[in-house]
Structure 1
């Protein structure tokens, strides 16, 4: 893993992105990893390592840099949850998308990138991945248990690249009514594949998370890897 510095499009300064590359010297597709409310934490870094092991370049930008650079929280303590929600509430999602666009462009220009790049996000990052599907030229986007996705329905006509949604049936942050509204809004899209994981809770694929569900995570990650291999190679 190494770090790169990227200039924000709004001129507010520089932010850090963390890069994991596969072994060897050949070219590979890139995945922009989008953080949860816990920052670029150990769980996201483990995902970056796994993507590199699968033969992809992973790039994880520090999206909370305007508030506090280098956030690395877990889901294990009340104090960390309180801090994470405070950071989320202070986060400008539109500016975050612009930072992700900068990251996407930088990922495509990495020496080992083959020019293809997509996004993959979790929780807050899952929402931002859908916003990237509607607002960027990413080659694909993957959303794990994104929150508030039904609120983005007015933008869904802009989707013009594969979008994969992993939805937890028992997501405490996305009630059944919101899930139904989301699926209804996406029903006619040729670009979207949405999967619901029975009995799974929010963050079922979070590495070492309190709601980790090995079966659901394995199935979801397999579907994701197949899509990445199809589009990015």
Structure 2
């Protein structure tokens, strides 16, 4: 079952939309699906649906709502890709994290699911890392997260398991940035990094030109096991 929920901001002065997919029966746990720069589009909704099919409550908050609510873009359309980069420039990740924290509170208090994980892609991969460093999320996964190498000074705050999927030919994350991520995180007891040799950004998208089926399936299998182990 799917629905659109309204989630109150942390300060209670406003609210934002979220796509919610519910499993049959009592959820094993909850997973926040963090969008790319394309909004809560069909691919992100499909990821939520798949988590619900696996027995989880899945929630994808609209993180661009302060700019324009309900944005849905297709990365295979040039004009929509250009718009996505405009949104990326306007977006404020500190506000995103507060909205993700509000989503965690909504899941625990209103949906009454205690254990909460997060999985994010691209911008969402960065936000998954930030969620691990700035909230009490129980487990986090980031796919091809951007600019994480610039936030390694926050790694000491990671208290719960974090997994990062890193394609080595990522056009938006340089080899130097990847090396910094490994240098800063390989020794962290809560962090696991997986490299995908020769693959580019977006390889695990649900549909479209960027997807690599074999690598996407491998990364997703690792993510499924990770949440099964860490969300109980």
TM-score normalised over the length of structure 2: 0.96
1:10: how far off?
4.3
Q: Deviations over 1:208-230 (max 9, x none)?
A: 13110111101000000001111
- Call closer, same or farther: CA 1:177–1:15 in 2, change over 3 Å: same
Q: Which residue of 2 aligns with 1:102?
A: 102
Contact 1:4 1:17 in 2 (8 A): yes
Q: Which residue of 1 aligns with 2:201?
A: 202
1:14: how far off?
1.2
Q: Which residue of 1 aligns with 2:81?
A: 81
1:111: how far off?
3.9
How many Å separate the matches in 2 of 1:154 and 1:10?
A: 27
Q: Once superposed, which parts of structure 1, at least 4 consecutive aligned residues long, lie more than 6 Å away?
A: none
Tell whether 2:94 aligns with 1:91.
no
Q: Deviations over 1:119-150 (max 9, x none)?
A: 10000000000000100000000000000110
How many Å separate the matches in 2 of 1:44 and 1:89?
A: 21
- 8-17 vs 38-47, which moves further: 8-17
Q: Which residue of 1 aligns with 2:188?
A: 189
- Call closer, same or farther: CA 1:189–1:16 in 2, change over 3 Å: same
Q: Which residue of 2 aligns with 1:226?
A: 225
Q: Deviations over 1:76-111 (max 9, x none)?
A: 111101111111111110011000000011112344
Show structure 1 runs of 5+ residues with no match. Answer: none
Show structure 2 runs of 5+ residues with no match. Answer: none
Q: Deviations over 1:28-61 (max 9, x none)?
A: 2000110000000000001011111111110000
RMSD of Structure 2 on Structure 1 (CA)? 1.2
How many correspondences in the alignment? 231
Q: Which residue of 2 aligns with 1:159?
A: 158
Contact 1:27 1:112 in 2 (8 A): no
Contact 1:203 1:209 in 2 (8 A): no
Q: Which residue of 2 aligns with 1:215?
A: 214
Q: Which residue of 2 aligns with 1:142?
A: 141
1:112: how far off?
5.8
